[in-house]
Amino acid sequence: MDKKQLKISILADNPNSWIMPYIHNLIGKLTDLHHHALLIQNQQQITPSDIVFILACEKIVPPTTLSLSQHNLVIHESALPYGKGWSPLTWQILDGKKRIPITLFEADEKVDAGDIYFQEMMNFEGHELVDELHQIQGQATIRLCLKFIDAYPDVKGIKQTGRESYFPQRTAKDSQVSVNNTIEELFNNFRVADNEKYPVFFELHGKRYNLKIEKVN
User: What is the tens place of the pLDDT at every residue in 1-32?
Assistant: 467 899 999 999 988 999 999 999 999 999 99
Mean local confidence (pLDDT), 94-106: 98
Mean local confidence (pLDDT), 195-199: 93
The pLDDT of residue 1 is 43
pTM over 0.85: yes
The pLDDT of residue 3 is 74
Q: Which residues contact 169 (CB under 8 A, 6 or more apart)?
A: 85, 86, 87
**H or E element, residue 135:** helix 130-151
Measured between alpha carbons, how far apart are the two ends of the chain, in Å?
49
* Among 51, 150, 157, 66, CA closest to 107: 66
Spatial separation of the C-alpha atoms in residues 107 and 61, rounded to whole Å = 9
The pLDDT of residue 104 is 98
Spatial separation of the C-alpha atoms in residues 17 and 59, rounded to whole Å = 14
Mean pLDDT, the chain, whole residue set:
96
Residue type, 85: G
Percent of the chain's residues with pLDDT above 90: 93
Spatial separation of the C-alpha atoms in residues 196 and 142, rounded to whole Å = 26
List of domains in the chain: 7-166 (3.40.50.170), 171-211 (3.10.25.20)
